[in-house]
Amino acid sequence: MASGESLLSPAATRSLITRFLLAPAPGTHLAPPERLADLTVREREVMALAADGASNTEIAEGLTLSPLTVRTHIHRAMTKLGARDRAQLVVIAYQTGLVRATPPA
């Protein structure tokens, strides 16, 4: 991962996560939404956009922030949630229901 950008295309990331969430492995449990309680509203907003596959630059443009500020929000969310990387943060976003998986078209 370079500068917080994803290694997979947003479409590939969404497809992979959607398939995982629509058919979780036996014994897999979704994380409770309360897990997000320590995040600020902005951290949740940035996390949701990252989970949708937006880059830091795209998030910054959409929210009228600097890319550095977006990176800070993502880092703080990762720290608060104990996520080791952006991919794990995205999985947590789906597991907690912050964003919803939709079946592929």
For the whole model, what pTM was predicted?
Answer: 0.70
Shortest CA distance to 61 belongs to which of 52, 74, 70, 53? 70
pLDDT digits (tens, 9 = 90+) for 64-105: 999 999 999 999 999 999 999 998 999 899 888 888 876 665
Number of residues assigned to the chain: 105
Please report whether residue 96 resides in a domain: yes
Q: Which domain holds residue 102?
A: 37-105
* Two tokens, residue 105: 């078209």
Please report whether residue 24 resides in a domain: no
Please report whether residue 10 resides in a domain: no
Please report whether residue 9 resides in a domain: no
Please report whether residue 103 resides in a domain: yes
Can you give the CATH number for the domain in which 56 is found? 1.10.10.10
17 CB-near residues (< 8 Å, 6+ apart): 51, 90, 91, 94, 101
* Total number of domains constituting the chain: 1
